[in-house]
Chain A
Amino acid sequence: MSAVEAPAAAQPAAGERREILVARGVTKSFPGVLALDNVDFDVRSGEVTALLGENGAGKSTLIKLMAGFYTPDRGEITVDGVPLHADPAAAHRIGVATIHQDAHLVPAMSVAENIMLGRWPGRYGWLSMRRQKEKARAAVARVAPHLNIATPAGRLSPADQQLVEIARAISEDSKILVMDEPTTSLSPPEIERLFRVVEDLKANGLGIVFVSHWLEEVFAISDRVTVLRDGRLVGTKPIGELDHDKVIRMMVGREVRETEHKPRPIGDVVMRVSNLTREGLLDDISFEVRAGEIVGMAGLVGAGRSETASCVFGIDPYDSGTVEIAGRRVRPNDPKAAIDAGIGLVPEDRRRQALVGLMSVRSNMTLSLFDQISRHGFLSSALEEEIAAREIRSLAVKTPSSKVRVSTLSGGNQQKVVLGRWLARRPKVLILDEPTKGIDVGAKSEISELILRLAESGMAILLISSELPEILSLSDRVLVMRSGRISAALSRAEATSETIMSYATTG
């Protein structure tokens, strides 16, 4: 019954590796973004294929296509000749199981119930507890013999929850196991155990797709590496033909340094962050930003960049360390104190963190400026309009009026509204977290120019970005983060795509 037979039975020779999943010419676009452009990809039985690429290279889209969340605009994905469509249940039926970054289990249900979720054995709606336990026990024995199948899933560690998901995939007779950054929340011994399970599944003929940012892991477990960049396939190579540097070069491509870097006068230290630590997220972060300086902060998603910004700006508490502005400590965990001290933040998710969609462009622009637009608590619409009109003009915000709802503007113009708020406030330090994310190319270059202008005017700038060209063209210095630490502080001369990527993924 099972496509995956008992461990002893299956010993496929290297030559018998056949292609199970085949993607040909797959193209998928979303409004304003071409996520995948004519990509070929295949997964072979008994092999681990690593899928690599920078943030936004198209990995997630490809995974979602394989999991049946989307249908390609062009091209086709087949599993043993059967085409995949946008139907996650059907993807499971034809044998593709996907393990997402965070476990998708029902916390209150037992391990056994979770493994059999939606496929509870029995008739006429009556559950057969006996058969459920039998099937679950068989699957658990393969990957996590230490687990009791009666334990509620919510009480398991993240690592064990992941193993339960793998057990579910086995009990479904899956042919392909897609693992999206499975090691993110695991400790080294847990990773080792996971890799042993992967080796076992591989030996039994499963095709495994492994997505990870850690190149050590990729080299430890993979047979082949497929690299995507900007939605295009860079290439697929056997692991034996590659080394760290070659992989990084495939990921970042040729280096482009677009804008001419004009030296700016750099002043005194404005912001000094010392030994900032937050249990499990940030470990001893220290850096400073000077007047007129643009400090780039690079790293992969989850490396702790946004978390640093959150702690500095007082959104989240920290366990130890200090943040000083012009020599004075900033009270932690209080955004108002941070603003009063002279820090500004353009957050990563502007719709969630910066804008009140129901309110007008004008009201959003002046949301941090009550002291400038009110007397004795009463707002002056004249003062408010003056500030809004000035910023709309200087930033060239495309809006029919200052009184339309901010949610009717395009992403780039919404971002300009957030920037306008801080321009009017003139903070000593401006933290920009992914300032050009989800913004079209034209607005992107406008915002880059604006960042340069602000630095020229003497503002200290911390620029967090996942786009290496942006970091490279704007920054005077580059901090690279990895696993909650600053893994490198690079001068402008030292900073290249390769060095940054290398410090972000290894060492």
Chain B
Amino acid sequence: MALENTPMSDVAPAGHGKLPGLRGRISFIDLMQSVGLLAVILLGGGIMSILSPVFATVRNIENVLQSATIIAVVAIGQTFVILVAGIDLSVASVLVLSSVLSVGLVQFQGFSPEIGVAVALLAGLGIGLVNGLAVTKLRIPALIATLATMTIGRGLAYIYSGGTNIAPVPQFFVDLQAARIFGIPAVIVLTLVLALIAQIVLSRTSFGRSVYATGGNPLAARLAGINTERVVIIAFMISGLMSAIAGLLITARFEAGAATAAQGLELAVIAAVVIGGVSLFGGEGNMGSMLLGVLLLGLVQNAVNLLNVPPNWDSVVSGLVIAAAAALDVYRRSYLEAGMRKKVIATKSSRSQKS
């Protein structure tokens, strides 16, 4: 895991001074976040393909990506919430609730599959709305508010399903899982499309700009005339909706309304988002980098499986990756601030010399 640090710490300080022209266009250190992640993923992938003959097969890679899709879709929503300096612990519960509703409404109540899917998505939006209202109107800290809905949501899913998986699933889900677009599994394409839409919303709409402003400095955003409470509520609703969509994906993957699935998924999602360079303090991050974080976490899990590491070590290794990413984030931040201070002092002293 020490590999994590090397590309950043070696390249960033040198490049910082060398490429003044680039700094105007893109934040150099932001770029390094993505490049660093990509380098680690490629390097790790290279090592893995030497260590394990299975790794570099199409089948394995597809498998890694497919299992990453569920975390990725949830993480897209979580990114909106973390960008407004919130956190959403209820995502895994929304996911299973959506999963059991999408199958159960057809199996138990005899509704059409379309209604099952629609109700599942509305449930996600609804829980997101409740989270958002609790955080903005009742001023309950997001951690506590979503801890409550996390517990309630999981409970509701158990009650509705009787605590077991619901099967068989409507044909729609079987088709979704089997579908391919240009030879690529449709769920992977769907995930990428969702991420692309999310990135466009973030970077090209006034709502996206409001998300960054609200997370970066809520007071300044409010004083600039942005309805920050509405922005936060919508962010939680997006997170609820994305988790519900991920619930449909898990239904398709497991071919069941899975009440007991996704235990602890909320933490894996938060970890992936943080590894992907989205700041837990809000206001900073993008979907591209975030997806690389999801991918890296997926690769680590795959490597642990392929290398026959005892399964119990899985979470230890994942934890180390998270710690390394978090440390990197703090390092990056302090480096940025130090650079800024130097610059301010430099301009000040040059000005005072003139006068």
> Chain A residues in contact with chain B, CB under 8 A?
31-32, 313, 315, 335-336, 339-340, 345, 347, 352-359, 363, 367-368, 370, 373-374, 377-379, 400-401, 403-405, 407-408, 410, 421, 440, 442
Looking across the interface, which residue of chain B has its beta carbon closest to that of A399? B24
| A363 contact set on B, CB distance < 8 A | 209, 212-213
A313 x B221 contact (CB < 8 A): no
Looking across the interface, which residue of chain A has its beta carbon closest to that of B200? A378
B223 x A315 contact (CB < 8 A): yes
A-B contact count (CB 8 A): 93
A32 x B204 contact (CB < 8 A): no
- Distance (whole angstroms) from the CB of A391 to the closest CB of chain B: 15
Given contacts A379-B206, A408-B343, whether A32 and B217 have CB atoms under 8 Å apart is no
Looking across the interface, which residue of chain B has its beta carbon closest to that of A376? B205
| A357 contact set on B, CB distance < 8 A | 216-217
A356 x B343 contact (CB < 8 A): no
List the 3 shortest-distance A-B pairs measured between CB atoms, nearest first. Answer: A401-B24, A356-B216, A370-B206
B225 x A356 contact (CB < 8 A): no
A407 x B340 contact (CB < 8 A): yes
Interface-side segment among B169-177, B263-271, B344-352: B344-352
> Chain B residues in contact with chain A, CB under 8 A?
23-25, 27, 204-207, 209-210, 212-213, 216-217, 219-227, 283-284, 340, 343-345, 347-348, 351, 355
- Distance (whole angstroms) from the CB of A272 to the closest CB of chain B: 22
- Distance (whole angstroms) from the CB of B5 to the closest CB of chain A: 23
B24 x A404 contact (CB < 8 A): yes
| B25 contact set on A, CB distance < 8 A | 401, 403
- A354 to B224 Cα, complex, angstroms: 7
B223 x A354 contact (CB < 8 A): yes
A356 x B345 contact (CB < 8 A): no
A355 x B209 contact (CB < 8 A): no
Could you say which of B24, B204, B212, B224 has the most chain A C-beta atoms within 10 Å of its C-beta?
A: B224
**Option from B207, B212, B340 in Cβ contact (under 8 Å) with A356:** B212
Looking across the interface, which residue of chain A has its beta carbon closest to that of B349? A31
Given contacts A368-B224, A374-B206, whether A410 and B344 have CB atoms under 8 Å apart is yes
**Option from A340, A353, A403, A408 in Cβ contact (under 8 Å) with B223:** A353
Given contacts A31-B345, A355-B217, A400-B24, whether A377 and B206 have CB atoms under 8 Å apart is yes
Looking across the interface, which residue of chain A has its beta carbon closest to that of B343? A408
- A262 to B216 Cα, complex, angstroms: 42
| B345 contact set on A, CB distance < 8 A | 31
- Distance (whole angstroms) from the CB of B204 to the closest CB of chain A: 6
**Option from A335, A400, A442 in Cβ contact (under 8 Å) with B225:** A335
- Distance (whole angstroms) from the CB of A388 to the closest CB of chain B: 13
**Option from B213, B222, B347 in Cβ contact (under 8 Å) with A335:** B222
Looking across the interface, which residue of chain A has its beta carbon closest to that of B213? A356
- A368 to B283 Cα, complex, angstroms: 17
A353 x B220 contact (CB < 8 A): yes
Given contacts A336-B225, A359-B216, whether A377 and B348 have CB atoms under 8 Å apart is no
| A347 contact set on B, CB distance < 8 A | 223
Extra inter-chain contacts (18) besides given A363-B212, A368-B225, A378-B204, CB under 8 Å: A31-B348, A313-B223, A336-B226, A353-B223, A355-B217, A356-B213, A356-B283, A357-B217, A359-B216, A359-B283, A363-B209, A367-B213, A374-B206, A377-B205, A401-B24, A404-B23, A408-B340, A442-B355
